């Protein structure tokens, strides 16, 4: 056996490994669970794996000179967590606070950082499972701010649900 043959064998092994990898991740990707919430009677969804917890609205301290969609920071068991009001960010008409107003605490972990952020929404709605086939890409005509955070659209029980990209939401202050 020469070194070339060894290389060949290695390649084959690699390919098989790649095949196996692919099939397994494929399975996971197919089925994803989403948590949906309401804002101005529209239903939005985020990947439930990014949701750390859901809290009532309250006790938010403002951050000096922050953009208007940043409501402030809350104390989440000792961690300082910023809260953004999605309704302000998406320029929805009125953003009032009532007993249904909740903060969904989202957590995104990348290789470098873990980020936690709360988003204020009108009310939490539902949890459903979705396969990737059910998802449509958003229409590309819309040029609003909110558009860049939309991952796709889907239909659940005859109603449209807007799926949001948590990662982009959580890194948005770096674009500010």
Partner 1 sequence: MSIDLSQFHAVFFEESFEGLELMEAALLDLDVGNPDSEQINAIFRAAHSIKGGSGTFGFVQVAEFTHILETLLDKVRDGEQAIDADGIELFLQSVDCLRGLLEALQSKQDPDMQRANELAGVFQAVLDGASYADSANLVKANSITGQLLAPEITESAADNVADDAATDDGISEEPSYGTSRQQVGFNIYFKPHVDMLKGGNDPVRMLRELATLGEIKTTVDSAELPLLEALVPDNCYLSWTIELLTSCKIDDVEEVFEWVEDECQLSITPILQDASALVSNQPQDQQNNPQASPSAALGQRLVMPSGPLPGLDDLLLPSPMVDSSTETVTDPVKDSVKAPVKDPVKTKATKVESSSIRVGIDKVDSLINLVGELVITQSMLGQMGSARDSITEEHIGNLREGLVQLEQNTRELQDSVMRIRMLPISFTFNRLPRMVRDISIQLGKKVQLEVSGESTELDKTVMEKISDPMVHLIRNALDHGIEMPAQRIAAGKPEMGTIVLKAFHQGGSIVIEMSDDGGGIDTERLLAKARKNGLVAESEQLTQEQKLELLFTPGLSTVEQVSDLSGRGVGMDVVRRNIQELNGSVEVSSEMGVGSAFRIRLPLTLAILDGQLVTVADQTYIFPLVSISESLQIDGAKVNNLAGGSDVYSLRDEYIPILRLDRLFSLREENGVLDGSLLVVVESEGQKIGVVVDELLAQQQVVIKSLEENYTRVVGVSGATILGDGTVAMIVDPIGLSSLAGNDIAAAKQMTDAAA
Contacts with partner 1, residue ranges (CB under 8 A) = 1-3, 6, 59, 61-66, 72-75, 78-82, 115-117, 173-174, 176
Closer residue to partner 1, CB minimum distance, 42 or 173: 173
Q: Annotate 47-96 with DSSP letters as a single string.
A: EGGGEEEEEES--PBPPTT--TTEEEEEEETTEEEEEEEHHHHTT-S---
Angstrom distance (rounded) from CA 108 to CA 74:
18
Closer residue to partner 1, CB minimum distance, 93 or 176: 176
Q: Write down the least CB distance from residue 80 to partner 1, Å.
A: 5
Q: In the block, which residue shows the tokens 């060894």?
A: 6
Q: Write down the least CB distance from residue 148 to partner 1, Å.
A: 19
Q: What is the dihedral of CA 163, 108, 146, 164, to 10 degrees?
A: 0
Q: Write down the least CB distance from residue 35 to partner 1, Å.
A: 20
Q: Write down the least CB distance from residue 113 to partner 1, Å.
A: 8
Closer residue to partner 1, CB minimum distance, 114 or 144: 114
- Coil, strand or helix at 111: coil
Closer residue to partner 1, CB minimum distance, 38 or 66: 66
């Amino acid at each position: 056996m020469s070194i070339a043959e060894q290389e060949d064998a290695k390649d084959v092994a690699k390919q098989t490994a790649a095949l196996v990898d692919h099939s397994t991740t494929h399975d996971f990707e197919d089925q994803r669970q989403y948590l949906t919430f309401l804002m101005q009677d529209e239903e939005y969804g985020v990947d439930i794996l990014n949701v750390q917890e859901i809290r009532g609205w309250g006790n938010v301290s403002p951050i000096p000179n922050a953009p208007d969609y940043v409501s402030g920071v809350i104390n989440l068991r000792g961690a300082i967590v910023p809260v953004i009001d999605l309704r302000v960010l998406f320029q929805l008409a009125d953003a009032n606070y009532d007993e249904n107003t909740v903060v969904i605490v989202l957590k995104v972990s990348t290789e470098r950082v873990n980020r936690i952020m709360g988003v204020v929404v009108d009310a939490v709605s539902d949890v459903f499972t979705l396969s990737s086939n059910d998802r449509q890409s958003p229409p590309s005509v819309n040029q609003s701010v909110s558009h860049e955070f939309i991952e796709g659209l889907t239909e659940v029980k005859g109603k449209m649900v807007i799926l949001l990209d948590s990662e982009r939401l959580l890194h948005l202050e770096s674009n500010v």
